[in-house]
Amino acid sequence: MFNALVNAFKIPDLKRRLIITGVLIAIYRVGCYIPTPGIDGAALADFFNRIAKTQGGTLFGIINMFSGGAMERLTIFALGIMPYISASIIMQLLTAVVPAFEKMAKEGKSGYEKINQLTRYGTVLLSVIQSYFIALWLENPARFEGLQIVMHPGWGFRILTVLTLTTGTIFIMWLGEQIQERGIGNGISLIITAGIISRIPTALNQLYVLISPFAPSRRQIQPVTLLIMAFLLVVVVFSVIMITQGVRKIPVQYARRIVGRKVYGGQSTYIPLKVDTSGVIAIIFAQSIILFPATLASFIPNPAFQRLAQGLIRGQALYSIVYALLIIFFCYFYTAIVFNPNDLSENMKKHGGFIPGIRPGAPTAEFLDFVMTRITLAGASFIAVIAIFPDFIMAWLKVPYLVASFFGGTGVLIIVGVMLDTLKQVESHLLTHHYEGFIKSGHIRGRR
């Protein structure tokens, strides 16, 4: 593996792409520390430090994770790339249900550019809405235990905050597109991954304090517990890799056709049906819905509503059950949108392909739908377990959520998936230039 990394810098084009990617990610991380004008950053950081154990309990916690901690410091990149992700998911859903967008998606490159441009417009709109409500949230000292976060509240601060945060999100989106075009890997995914990885030093520091190696009397985590945590981390990462890469291969045989003097078809191939088609999208959807009441409760001082929201916060049994069911539902929902067995069956039939033992046409579509339903249940169940596993770790081993979050959930799925995808692209460059890849006995499979 180390030889592959050294060889990567021997290829001029790959070396240039790696350097550009690193520089652009570094620019993003620098921006995560530039404060938004009009904010008392010290007071805000103090507030978030005091409620660190519940940071994951609202939508602001999700934004903070995806922005690499920029939300808790209210920097110019506080919104992160979440508005772009939301706009992309919305456009993907519209493409599946609105005929005009579906037709646009089938136009090839021109259609893709139109959809991409609409996604950018949607990102700006969502950024403006989110940043405006964040400005209102910051202006109210009651939301921060009496702390005055905004020095000069009013419309001037609101407009400035909207412009700053929206511009920051647009700049991050531009950075991601530049990485995609001139660097290596998926730009948006790498930016999200960089933000999540940036939280590892803070998590390790919290873990070090809990271990207290030089003060056994203040030790909250025993060495045996630390070994259990390390073992569980390896198991979780290994399991995520296996499920992320897991596919069900459906054999396909193409009939032999003779046209003139040429023979077409007669090949055997397979259709790779992914076990986890939705990836992290199901978790993002489920988190957004289940944490919405908790977020609204911070704005609506209604006792009955707040009692309901308290039952749906992290750590409660009701939260875990509803969260797992929502993830399973959205796994099926997203799979039904992106996987169309009827279209796949018709395309196979047009090219003379068939599944051995299955008649072409409707029987093939029914068979593919049946197989996809079964393997999606396995993938959805695994994703649900991984999503609630940090809550189990937090309750069992008595560690902060920031530490427990690296034992599952959205962060681990994103890090593993993006790293595999990026390594695959680097390996393809190495193999193209006749260098040995990362794995001698095989190659890294792509996520798609």
Every domain of the chain and the residues it spans:
13-191
Q: Across the strands, what pairs with 269? A: 252
The C-alpha atoms of residue 356 and residue 252 are separated, in whole angstroms, by 7
Q: How high is the pLDDT of residue 178?
A: 92
Residue-wise pLDDT tens digits, 129-165: 988 988 888 887 776 767 778 888 888 889 999 999 9
Q: Please answer whether residues 141 and 149 qualify as being in contact, where contact means their C-beta atoms are separated by less than 8 angstroms.
A: yes
The C-alpha atoms of residue 166 and residue 161 are separated, in whole angstroms, by 8
The Cβ of residue 396 has, within 10 Å, a number of other Cβ atoms equal to 12
Residue-wise pLDDT tens digits, 371-390: 999 999 998 998 888 888 88
The C-alpha atoms of residue 430 and residue 415 are separated, in whole angstroms, by 22
Interval 415-425 mean pLDDT: 83
Q: How high is the pLDDT of residue 56?
A: 47
Residue-wise pLDDT tens digits, 60-105: 666 666 666 677 778 888 888 888 888 888 887 788 778 888 888 7
Show the tokens assigned to 154: 């009013």
Show the tokens assigned to 230: 């390390």
Show the tokens assigned to 212: 């207290």
Q: Which CATH superfamily is domain 13-191 in?
A: SecY subunit domain (1.10.3370.10)
Confidence of residue 429 (pLDDT cuts 50, 70, 90): confident
Residues near 104 by beta carbon (within 8 Å), at least 6 away in sequence: 95, 111, 114, 115
DSSP string, 111-122: HHHHHHHHHHHH
The C-alpha atoms of residue 144 and residue 136 are separated, in whole angstroms, by 12
Least confident of 197-201, 276-280, 294-298, 306-310: 294-298
Q: How far is CA 207 from CA 48, 398, 415, in A?
A: 18, 11, 20
